[in-house]
Structure 1
Amino acid sequence: MSKSNENFYFSSVNTDNLTRLKNREALINKYDNDKKLKYNVMIIDIVALEIINELYGYDTGNNILKQYSEFLQSFVPHEYEIYRYCSDKFALASLGKKSEIEYKKDILNILTQTRRINFYVKQLKINIDISVGISINEVNALQQASIALKKTKKSNSRFSFYNESMLRNQNIHNFILVRDIIKFAIQENRVEAYYHPIVNKKKEIIKYETLMRITENDNVYLPESFLKIAIKSKQYSNLSQQLIKKAMLNFENTDHDFSINICFGDVVDENTISLLDNTFLNNKNLAQRVIFEILECDEIKDYDILKEFVEKYKKIGVRFAIDDFGVGYSNFSQILSLKPEFIKIDGSLIKNIHEEKRSLELVKAIVLFSKALDIKIIAEYVHCKEIFDILCDLGIEEFQGFYFSQPVAKI
């Protein structure tokens, strides 16, 4: 992909097709990915747009969205960046400190002017109203503004400022909601395996990493949205076992190598061990093709138990990889004593390696000692050609990331 094509790609994926505003992805990339950055967000929700869609059709609703985006661009103070956040929502984001009184003034101006606007669609005059959620000078302001917006709509008010009591209530509600999503997904066999290709320098697929997803109607939930709650609610083992069964079954009649993520909770779970033993007993060929990626999703509490697990399955041909290497592991010597065949360099070191000298030097060091120990390296989070070329020059031979492919449901 040429530089101009890359720029076009990143521009297109960060732009809303309807309004030509920057989209939610652009907002997250600029503000929310930096976990130390304090910023300000207002989320503006057009009230009852779904009713307008039902009465007059989606073309009318889309026309209103375009007209409202033009209003925001012409009326909102220049200190705010305007985003099409999702469906019927816009977001205004800014840096810098303003008082709550100053924000109230801005919000009331937007609310008042919104009510005064007449939207015309095919000679039809339509008026709208909005609800607003605001977070001021906070880390994770986007999430907090979303919580404030829910409060606004629930209380039937016009706007709400985020406060910590909202987060406590939201966390309790979210825990119960996600816990039940996990519970019913297990009961209804909706824990799905997705597969992320791993390629060589020629960009040829050489194996797949198995990834966990939960499906619910048209929704596909990623692990970051449910895994911590699965562990807290004692449901992780059932999720893991369902994933292992499906992955083993899918690869049973193929020649592909594949990896499965294993954390210490799996290692000490009797049912998971029994499942692995029975699977390999019935199909010895699978053991020769599977790679267990050791995760630190919870702390490794006993390295002797982990070593016994590794040695047991190495005897029947299973290979091992250390995932997210470079950060997170408190004891490198203990990890390396497991004698893994592969190391997967942590994505936080890879994704900005073309911009951060520190990341480049750390990766160089990992490559040097890995080669000395005859350990193969896999670089994940490769999202552009520039990073791929740097990694190739460093002598890395296996790669994974959206530059090559997104995870797929079938192989």
Structure 2
Amino acid sequence: MSSDEFLFAAEEGDETLHNDPWVILIVDDDREVHSMTKLALHDFSYERKGLLFLSAYSAKEAETIFEQRNDISIVLLDVVMETDTAGLELVKVIRHHFNNPNVRIIIRTGQPGISPERYVIDHYDINDYKEKTELTADRLYTTIRSSLSQYKHIIELENKKNEIYTALITDTLTGLGNRSKLNFDLDSTEPMSLILLNIDSFSMINDVYGFDVGDQMLIQFADILRNASHHKSDIYRLEADIFAILTCFRPDNNVQTYVKNIRNSLSMETYTIQEVEHRLNVTIGIVEHDVGNMIQKAEIALRQARKLSRNRVQYYSDDLDLIQQIRENTKWTKWLKTALDNDRILAYFQPIIDCKTQEIVKYESLVRLERDGTIYSPFHFLATARHAGLLYQITQKMFTQACIKFAHNALSFSVNITDQDLIEPNFIEFIEQTRQLHNIDPNRIYFEILEESSILSNPMAEEHLAKLTEIGYHLCLDDFGVQCSNFAQIGALNLSIIKIDGAYIKDIDTNPQSRTITESILYFTRKIKVKTVAEFVHNAQVYEIVKSLGVDYAQGYFLGEPKPDLIA
């Protein structure tokens, strides 16, 4: 190959013109064309940069130069060389084989009849077409300057685009790739292994020592991963204290050994905080040699590991307990939405008995879900409803059905409400509109709540509870003894009834400890003058003990099962 390089710039003394010159490739089989072009542009400069000329005397030589360089700004290209269309074929090679849309290609032909201008412009991705006879020194100068301006603008836009893209796929704290970068890298059919590492108890470090210290530990942790990882592995920070390693290890490469080495490297490192040395443990989730939904699978493995204990490794498999739980949650979410849309959320009513008179004094409204003729208790779907944000819709259905059921009698009834209900802005408005529609005295209605920290510490929840009692509704504390059981906070709730949790009632006839706890609760409730209900009264022996202890009301399957209709 015969290729010459010539650097031309303006006067001596302006050294900036010798830095990163514009690269011009002349492709022509006529050596005189090369010489004349260099002579005509010998004093050319643009943006304080001179020109570096490369010469190729055939399309094949030009291809070789493009294989070696990616900084060519302009190609001055003849058409007729080895063949009548050699130059035009080179255009295709530059644009498609080398995938270079940026370089400015200027056709210079001495035989326009072979490749007419209009045809070439229409069929080839070129930027200008000149006949050699018309391309004087001045016109060549103008053409080069205009083309360099275009090229500079294109490169600036591409650099800016690359900067934005880099920012989008890079974690600013550690310099590692982020979740977006991992998603991009996983867009491949090649099986890979993905390792997620979650720093154990990292939130405590942030809480105790502050975020600046936490950030420094994350940076150091990222550096350790870089040093410990295989050269064919990529490292990412997905969020807060969760990192990822994507590796091309095949099953025969033993991912277990690789992970063991990483854990050993991490365990040997110490982090000094305020002159105290700390060691970090990690919980790891792995999906091995797989394609498709790898992040989701690795996150499931990580969640399963964290659920069992910290500082452990869990490999993904389709039979993980968490997978079954996710499938169940997905099923019940669909069933719940269908039931809500089709009025298959049903209210069942369980009687509450006065222990002195043995008469029914009120009913508790209990939710059921009907599907294909089968009735499901809330045990199956209530947790899913909470996660899916459907509890308030269920409460609306339940309260409406209860008001309809008790509109034409004088009995009292209770409805369970949740922390999610109490933070709904229109909760009180809905309750009042529904009650008034059915003309029910608020004094007949009891709202059962759990002693949850989310209720006791939420200003809107507290405001709504206070408003309910102000209107005349009663508040009933459900499952007392197994939740927060904070005696000091009960006074703030303005309760009418406390329901003793069934865990202490169901075996009160055989378990002395349950009886002692129940007696303690009763002592407390008498002191604060609040009535009590014993839940889970399931046989005569339990009922007799409950009555003998002085519990005010009793509820359970022995006294009456939940039914869609009231006991006549």
Q: Which TM bucket (shorter chain)?
A: 0.5 to 0.7
Deviations 1:226-255 (A, max 9, x none): 011111112221111111111111111211
Write the mapping of 1:28-39 to structure 2, written as runs, cut at 5 A: none
Deviations 1:12-52 (A, max 9, x none): xxxxxxxxxxxxxxxxxxxxxxxxxxxxxxxxxxxxxxxxx
2:332 to 165, 178, 196: 178
Answering whether residue 351 of structure 2 is matched by residue 197 of structure 1, we say yes
Contact 2:456 2:462 in 1 (8 A): no
Contact 2:414 2:447 in 1 (8 A): yes
Write the mapping of 1:92-171 to structure 2, written as runs, cut at 5 A: 165-171=319-325
CA pair 301-399 structure 1, distance change in 2 beyond 3 A: closer
- 1:282 Cα deviation from its structure 2 partner: 3.8
SS at match of 1:362: helix
Q: Distance in 1 between matches of 2:452 and 2:388?
A: 15
Deviations 1:173-227 (A, max 9, x none): 1111111000100110111000010001243111100001111121111111001
Q: Which residue in the other structure is 2:558 paired with?
A: 403
- 1:320 Cα deviation from its structure 2 partner: 1.0
- 1:278 Cα deviation from its structure 2 partner: 1.2
Deviations 1:47-72 (A, max 9, x none): xxxxxxxxxxxxxxxxxxxxxxxxxx
SS at match of 1:359: helix
CA pair 241-221 structure 1, distance change in 2 beyond 3 A: same
Q: Distance in 2 between matches of 1:277 and 1:383?
A: 35
- 1:394 Cα deviation from its structure 2 partner: 0.9
Alpha-carbon RMSD across the aligned residues, in angstroms, is 1.9
Q: Which residue in the other structure is 1:206 paired with?
A: 361
Q: Distance in 2 between matches of 1:195 and 1:409?
A: 6
Answering whether residue 374 of structure 2 is matched by residue 215 of structure 1, we say no
Q: Which residue in the other structure is 2:512 paired with?
A: 357
SS at match of 1:371: helix
CA pair 216-296 structure 1, distance change in 2 beyond 3 A: farther
Q: Distance in 2 between matches of 1:298 and 1:216?
A: 34
My pick for the range that moved more, 280-289 or 252-261, is 280-289
Q: Which residue in the other structure is 2:479 paired with?
A: 324
Q: Distance in 2 between matches of 1:299 and 1:223?
A: 21
- 1:260 Cα deviation from its structure 2 partner: 0.5
Q: Aligned partner of 1:318: which letter? A: Y
- 1:285 Cα deviation from its structure 2 partner: 3.1
Contact 2:416 2:449 in 1 (8 A): yes
- 1:398 Cα deviation from its structure 2 partner: 0.6
Write the mapping of 1:285-300 to structure 2, written as runs, cut at 5 A: 285-296=440-451, 299-300=454-455
CA pair 296-228 structure 1, distance change in 2 beyond 3 A: farther
Gaps of 5+ in 1: 1-162
Q: Distance in 2 between matches of 1:193 and 1:326?
A: 26
SS at match of 2:347: strand
Q: Aligned partner of 2:349: which letter? A: Y
Q: Distance in 2 between matches of 1:370 and 1:330?
A: 13
SS at match of 1:225: coil
Deviations 1:276-331 (A, max 9, x none): 12123445533121001112578436254333222212222211110001111253
Answering whether residue 377 of structure 2 is matched by residue 225 of structure 1, we say no
Answering whether residue 516 of structure 2 is matched by residue 342 of structure 1, we say no
Contact 1:198 1:398 in 2 (8 A): yes
Q: Aligned partner of 1:379: which letter? A: A
- 1:374 Cα deviation from its structure 2 partner: 0.9
Q: Report the TM-score when normalising by structure 1.
A: 0.57
SS at match of 1:259: strand
Q: Which residue in the other structure is 1:315 paired with?
A: 470
Q: Which residue in the other structure is 1:248 paired with?
A: 403
Contact 1:265 1:298 in 2 (8 A): no
SS at match of 1:220: strand
Q: Report the TM-score when normalising by structure 2.
A: 0.42
SS at match of 2:507: coil
Contact 2:469 2:494 in 1 (8 A): no
Q: Distance in 1 between matches of 2:520 and 2:400?
A: 37
The structure whose Rg is larger is 2
- 1:345 Cα deviation from its structure 2 partner: 0.2
Identity %: 31
1:385 to 537, 540, 564: 540
Greater RCO, CA 8 A, separation 6+: 1
Q: Distance in 2 between matches of 1:298 and 1:182?
A: 27
Contact 2:480 2:500 in 1 (8 A): yes
SS at match of 2:361: strand
Contact 2:352 2:364 in 1 (8 A): yes
Contact 1:264 1:296 in 2 (8 A): no
- 1:337 Cα deviation from its structure 2 partner: 1.9
Contact 1:198 1:206 in 2 (8 A): yes
Q: Distance in 2 between matches of 1:350 and 1:232?
A: 30
- 1:396 Cα deviation from its structure 2 partner: 1.0
1:306 to 458, 461, 472: 461
1:272 to 414, 422, 427: 427
Q: Aligned partner of 1:359: which letter? A: S
SS at match of 2:493: coil
Answering whether residue 367 of structure 2 is matched by residue 188 of structure 1, we say no
SS at match of 2:440: helix
Q: Aligned partner of 1:380: which letter? A: E
Q: Aligned partner of 2:324: which letter? A: Q
Answering whether residue 397 of structure 2 is matched by residue 236 of structure 1, we say no
Contact 1:263 1:296 in 2 (8 A): no
Q: Distance in 2 between matches of 1:219 and 1:282?
A: 31
CA pair 319-293 structure 1, distance change in 2 beyond 3 A: same
Q: Distance in 1 between matches of 2:499 and 2:375?
A: 25
Contact 1:344 1:380 in 2 (8 A): yes
Contact 1:324 1:345 in 2 (8 A): yes
Q: Distance in 2 between matches of 1:195 and 1:297?
A: 25
Q: Aligned partner of 2:415: which letter? A: I
SS at match of 2:441: helix
Q: Aligned partner of 1:280: which letter? A: R
